[in-house]
Structures are given as structure tokens and as C-alpha cells.
Amino acid sequence: MTSILVVGSVAYDTVETPFGRAERVLGGSASFFSLAASFFVPVNLVAVVGTDFAQEHVDRLAAHNIDMEGLQRADGLSFFWEGRYSFDLNARETVRTDLNVFQSFRPRIPEKYRHSSHVFLGNIDPVLQQEVLDQVERPRLVALDTMNFWIEGRLDELKKALRRVDVLLINDAEARQLSGEWNIVKAARAIRALGPRTLVLKKGEHGVLMFGEDGSFSAPAYPLEQVFDPTGAGDTFAGGFLGYLASVQAQAGAADRGYDDEALRRAVVMGSTLASFCVEAFSLDRLLALTRAEIDERFRLFKRLTQFESI
């Protein structure tokens, strides 16, 4: 059955933007990813939280087609992250990261998740990302997210993980760092040679650039009049991207169908659509109130935004 297994952080965030401050609100890469993906297919979540984590937050995610059996509870406090944005919302300062129970996290994949058709390895230690892959039965598609911390500190393990991955989602600075190439086209070629068939480069308010077997594709970020809080936009993009792709593959049937260039392009725009909603409010607030009709309407506006005739 089509479903996405996601492993990542479930957290409390404190976020300050020029427009306000939110204290200890629900966050984490797996939370944003799951909620976005859940509009398309069922999601199986694996993460760890501490004894301070409110049942109300578990219930809120569970109400959205997200299976929470894989949420481990450990003695101690939940992962906590604090960030601050200036008026340039692309520049973020991390004020504080408390790993807490995340520090000794070992992902345990419940039996019923092992046949998930799609896997999203959120930004965690590449050793743990490989442990997750060791516990699942031949998924149809594996996507991975990482960051400079792991590229600097765990490069060999990250490269091992990448050999087992179909789609890598990172930002442009991380792509340069991972490949050692300044030019982004050369960087993409070098990274794809490490394993991933498809590389998706996230560039914040400048949109997304995808490199694949059929060349490259670019999508802008949706021009919003009010960007309130960019936290989680990258993870929300990944959830919309993979969720949509999984739903297309579910309909396509046969092994490699639904992974063609047209489906990938629509997945990029769907990811960008979901991310554009995420940034309209703090935490998961906008995604929790979102409807499929609103998603489809903005997807339509996206097409209009980028369409032009030949000369």
C-alpha cells in the first residue's frame, strides 16, 4: 500500500520574526513534512519526544492521516530549537538548539511501517539514516535531506547513505559544500554521481532548481504579500513534493511509472505550493487549517505565474 515513512525531528520551537514571537510551539522537520505529505497519502511517523510533549500535539497530527505509533517517548525534554529572523527573511539566526532526547535517538521502525512504499530520511545523523533503510523492505523511492553539520562532520557516512537514495533535497550552499564545486551545474553533476537520480536544490524565496535524468527544471517561490514565518518551509516543500509523487505513483501501478519528468515537475510545484502556505503563519498553524481546494487553487495560480508563449 502506498504510504510514506518519515524519520526526523518533532520539536518545540521558539521563533522570532519582525512580525511577532511564538514561544514553544509545535515544530520539527518531521512535523512539517508529515502534515504537508498527509494531503496526498497516509504518513508513518518515526521520531522521539520527551515527557514534556503534550498529548494534544500528538492528537493534532494523528487527526491528519499521520500514524503516530512510531513516536517514541523518552525520559527528558523534547528537542528544542530557537530561531530569529531579521527583515531579510532568508537570513536566519539559530539562537539555541537543545538536542535533549534527540541526542540518544535510535529510530525503531514499527513492523507495520516496514513496507512503506516511500521513505523520507529527514535531517538526522547519516548513520541513523542508514539504520532506517536497513529496517525497511525495498521501498519504491527514498528521499533524503541533510545539512552542513553532517556534510562537515560525517561525510563518509553521508556518501554511503546517498548511494541508497533516489532524491536528495538540499539548499544551494550545501550542494556547493558537498561537491566542492562552486558552479551549481557542475555541483549537481558531481552529486548525482554519488547516487541520487534527482537533486532538488532549495533556494528559499528564490525558489527551487531540480536536476534529473531529463535535464533541469526551475520553479519560483510563490510571490506572497505577507511572509510571516519561514520556519519549516523546506520540510513542507519536501512533504508536498514526495506526497504528491507518491500519490501519482500509487495510480501509475508498474514499478518505475510515475517517476517521469512531467510528474517530477508537478511535484516541485506542489512542494512550492505547500511551502507558500506554511510561511503565512507561525508553526503548523496554516497547514493545520489548510484544505485541498485551497492547495489546488494555488497550484493553478502557480501554473499561470510561470506560463508564457513561444516567440
Residue number closest to ligand AMP, CB atom: 27
Among 109, 233, 246, 287, binds ligand AMP (CB under 6 A): 233
Counting Cα atoms < 13 Å in the Cβ hemisphere of 85 gives 21
| DSSP H or E segment with residue 13 | strand 11-17
Binding of ligand AMP by 121 (CB under 6 A): no
Q: Is 107 in the site for ligand AMP (CB under 6 A)?
A: no
Q: Is 97 in the site for ligand AMP (CB under 6 A)?
A: yes
Q: Rounded to a whole number, what is the largest CA-CA distance in the chain?
A: 64
Contact between 229 and ligand AMP (CB under 6 A)? Answer: no
End-to-end CA gap in the chain: 46
CB closer to ligand AMP out of 11 and 165:
11
Is 145 a binding residue for ligand AMP by CB under 6 A? The answer is no
Residue with cell 520540510: 235
Other beta carbons within 10 Å of 290: 20
Q: What residues between 9 and 38 interact with ligand AMP by CB under 6 A?
A: 9, 11, 13, 27-29
For 216, the enclosing helix (H) or strand (E) is strand 215-219
| Least distance between ligand AMP and beta carbon 97 (Å) | 6
Using CA atoms, how far apart are residues 80 and 77, in angstroms rounded to an integer?
Answer: 8
In whole angstroms, the minimum distance from the beta carbon of 238 to ligand AMP comes to 8
**Is residue 123 part of the contact set for ligand AMP (CB under 6 A)?**
yes
Task: Count the site residues for ligand AMP by CB under 6 A.
Answer: 14
CA distances from 298 to 32, 222, 281, 307 (A): 19, 9, 17, 14
Q: List all residues 6 or more positions away from 303 whose beta carbon is below 8 Å from its beta carbon.
A: 269
Q: Considering only residues 34, 78, 231, 249, which one is a binding residue for ligand AMP as defined by CB under 6 A?
A: 231
Contact between 174 and ligand AMP by CB under 6 A: the answer reads no
Element (H, E) at 29: helix 29-37
Q: Could you tell me the smallest distance in angstroms from the CB atom of residue 89 to ligand AMP?
A: 11
Rule CB under 6 A: choose which of 39, 40, 81, 222 binds ligand AMP: 81
Q: Which residues bind ligand AMP (CB under 6 A)?
A: 9, 11, 13, 27-29, 81, 97, 123, 231-235
